[in-house]
Every structure is written in C-alpha cells, then in structure tokens.
Amino acid sequence: MLTTTLAVSLTVGSAYAQSQTRPQPAPKDPVAEMLLSKGERYHRAPDSAQDPDELRQTQALNAEIVAQNDLAENEDRANQSAQAEAQRRWQAEVDQTEAQARADRDRHEADLRAADEAQ
C-alpha cells in the first residue's frame, strides 16, 4: 500500500512539475494580428533596392529621432535628479517640523507636570 501511494505521489508530482516547466506562450500583439488578418504584410526591402535619396532621407530622419530620444533621456535624468533633490528637501523639512512638534509637546507636558506639582 505504501509503495503504491509513493508511486502515485511521484507520478503526480512529476506530471505537475512538467506542467509547470512548460514555456508559456508569448503574448500576442492584437494590432499585428488585426493587420495580418486584413492582409497587411511588412517585408523590409534591402538597402540596395531602395532609392539612394530615400535612403539618405530615412537615415537623416533616424538620426534626428535618435538625437531627440537622447535629448529626452537627458531631460528625464535631469528632471529625476531635480525631483530627488526636492524630495530630499521636503523630507528634511518634514523631519525638522516633526522634531519641533515633539520638542514643543515635551515642553508642554513638562510645563503641565510642573503646574501639577506646584498645586
């Protein structure tokens, strides 16, 4: 009985492990599927088959896009740095305000104790 239970456990465990290690299907792109269903196909022509003027224009546009992306990335870094600095200043102000509030509360409680002792 124990060997049967052990054999069943190993078989079920092995099947479960295999089902968990199967690669998950890649998520499908609904836009690409829609375009394919409408007969759209993209086949990049080799550079030799393209008009030289068109190729130069494409390369110039690509270079402009890369430059704009680099500029945007640098601006993002600068903005993130400025945000981090503003966050640091804000947190320092919060910490200072909380420390002042604790000191004021402690002073008030000490004044109350002194007043109670004086009575």
Q: What percent of the chain lies above the pLDDT cut of 90? A: 52
With respect to residue 91, please indicate whether it lies within any of the assigned structural domains. yes
Spell out the residues 6+ positions from residue 50 whose beta carbon is closer than 8 angstroms to its own. 58
- 105 falls within a domain: yes
Structure tokens belonging to residue 117 = 């002792």
Per-residue pLDDT, 91: 98
The model's confidence at residue 9, banded by pLDDT at 50, 70 and 90, is: low
Helix, strand, coil in percent for the chain, rounding step 5: 80, 0, 20
Helix (H, G, I), strand (E, B) or coil at 8: helix
Sequence-distant (≥ 6) Cβ neighbours of residue 96 within 8 angstroms: none
57 belongs to a structural domain:
no
Stated pTM of the model: 0.46
Asked whether residue 96 is domain-assigned, the answer is yes
Pick from 7-16, 47-56, 78-87, 109-118: least confident: 7-16
| pLDDT computed for residue 7 by the predictor | 53
Q: Which domain holds residue 99?
A: 83-118
Domain total for the chain?
A: 1
Indicate whether 4 pLDDT > 60: no
**Contact (CB, 8 A) for 76 and 84:** no
pLDDT in tens, 59-85: 999 999 999 999 999 999 999 999 999
Take residue 1 and report the two structure tokens written for it.
Answer: 């009985």
pLDDT band at 25 (very low <50, low <70, confident <90, very high): low
Would residue 87 count as lying in a domain? yes
Region 89-99: mean pLDDT is 98
